[in-house]
Structure 1
Amino acid sequence: MTSDQIDRLIKDGQFADTRGLPELIETHISWVILSGDYAYKIKKPAHYSFLDFSTLDKRKYYCERRSY
């Protein structure tokens, strides 16, 4: 997924909220969409020395992993 694809989802109303347009915040490892009472976090396909989100399977694993 790219930031252009994220922008398209926002413009198409996929993160619609009655309080206005959602806000996109981009970090080095994720896109965060703030929409009313909700926040959506999408991990970027990134690989650094301290993390590896380079494949969809790896991003899914870290989304589902429990941290204690």
Structure 2
Amino acid sequence: MRDVETMGLLRAGDAWLLSGWCRLRQAIRGFRIERITRLEILGETPPARDPAFWEADLERWPTRRLA
């Protein structure tokens, strides 16, 4: 179980990934959509994150962004 601050939706090969800041790992992580079994949307506003951090992480992976 993870608390994730959603940053975007990506396609990597044949997989769709929810990309976001994982509060457990304190880093950006990708979560395969088909492996998410439960989702709870909290009524909180996550802290602002520097978009350059996400851009730098995206450059490491052969992905296509949807959002």
Normalised-by-shorter TM-score class: under 0.3
Which one has more relative contact order, counting CA pairs under 8 Å at least 6 apart? Answer: 2
Greater per-residue helix proportion: 1
Bigger radius of gyration: 1
Q: TM-score, normalized by length of structure 1?
A: 0.27
Q: TM-score, normalized by length of structure 2?
A: 0.27
